[in-house]
Amino acid sequence: MIVAMSRYDRSAFPPFAVTVDLVVLTVREHALCALLVRRGEPPFQGYWALPGGFVRPDEGLAEAASRELAEETGLRAHSTPGQGSAGAHLEQLATYGHPQRDPRMRVVSVAHLALAPDLPTPRPGGDARSARWALVAELIGQGPDAGVPLAFDHGGILADGVERARSKIEYSSLATAFCPPEFTVGELRQVYEAVWGVALDPRNFHRKVTGTPGFLVPSGSTTTRQGGRPAQLFKAGGATVLNPPMLRPES
């Protein structure tokens, strides 16, 4: 005989918690970098991890992610690309809930992806002992840091966030989230090259981005910050979907 368990019998369920983890990406010195913090407390004390924390009883998931982002970077969040240095683009990435992902208890993490222009040296917060920018190419590719495991399941979360960014800049204007409010076509090309990890033909890229309706809008100004002749400055246009898309070339 099978007896149905009452839905109000809470004693049958172990305690669990909800956290938010942040994949914070930026382009520094023409390379895609991710924000890591070194944990100062168990579990995984001394390991590098993604920034994040527990969701408080009085806040929602988006509020928690925005709070953690502000604590770790000093940036406020927005969900629309093209805001430049006014803040960071923040969107929900995925949910991770393997029963053994956290040795303390059952912890479900709702990961978020945050993108922003060249960010300053990070400052640790919460239970973090230190913080740094790490090269994505070394963390999820080949290099001296490739064999260093991250805490919890953060290595997989990081890889998912990077792939989301790489794929999304193909068909959306999300690449402008890595740029300041006004930028040159060359600076935007460097973003694509850093995120995709490939070199792009400058002339072909210029033709594509300036020929895509609503992608870029001339600001009416020029700059010489890249050296040489003055280059035209652009702002992100109103388009959120690129048609035709910027297809990622083979690595």
Residues 26 and 137 in one domain: yes
Residues 156 and 187 in one domain: no
Encode pLDDT of 45-71 as tens digits: 999 999 999 999 999 999 999 999 888
Residues 206 and 160 in one domain: no
Residue 45 forms part of a structural domain: yes
In the predicted model, is pLDDT for residue 83 greater than 60?
Answer: no
Residues 111 and 135 in one domain: yes
* Predicted pLDDT of residue 84: 43
User: Could you say which of 169, 204, 226 is where a domain stops?
Assistant: 169
Residue 70 forms part of a structural domain: yes
User: Could you say which of 143, 169, 195 is where a domain stops?
Assistant: 169
Instruction: For strands 77-78 and 88-96, give the pairing.
Output: parallel
Encode pLDDT of 152-200 as tens digits: 999 999 999 999 999 999 999 999 999 999 999 999 999 999 999 999 9
* Predicted pLDDT of residue 15: 80
Q: Distance between CA atoms of 21 and 152, rounded to whole angstroms?
A: 11
Residue 4 forms part of a structural domain: no
Residues 161 and 60 in one domain: yes
Encode pLDDT of 1-57 as tens digits: 455 555 666 667 778 899 999 999 999 999 999 999 999 889 999 999 999 999 999
User: What is the total residue count of the chain?
Assistant: 251
What total of structural domains would you count in the chain? 2
Residue 180 forms part of a structural domain: yes
Residues 206 and 184 in one domain: yes
CA–CA–CA angle 171, 66, 180 (5° rounding): 50
- Sole residue written with tokens 């942040």: 22
Q: From residue 29, how far is each of 105, 119, 120, 166, 191 by CA, in Å?
A: 40, 11, 12, 18, 10
Predicted model pTM: 0.87
Encode pLDDT of 204-237 as tens digits: 999 999 999 999 999 999 988 877 789 999 999 9
User: Which is it for the CA torsion 101, 63, 36, 174, positive or negative?
Assistant: positive
Q: Name the residue range of residue 199's domain.
A: 171-236
* Predicted pLDDT of residue 85: 44
Domain containing 220 — which CATH number? Answer: 1.10.10.10
Q: Distance between CA atoms of 133 and 152, rounded to whole angstroms?
A: 19
Domain containing 74 — which CATH number? Answer: 3.90.79.10
Of residues 157 and 246, the one with the higher pLDDT is 157
To 10 degrees, the CA torsion angle through 78, 83, 85, 88? 30
Q: From residue 141, how far is each of 107, 136, 144, 158, 197 by CA, in Å?
A: 28, 7, 10, 12, 11
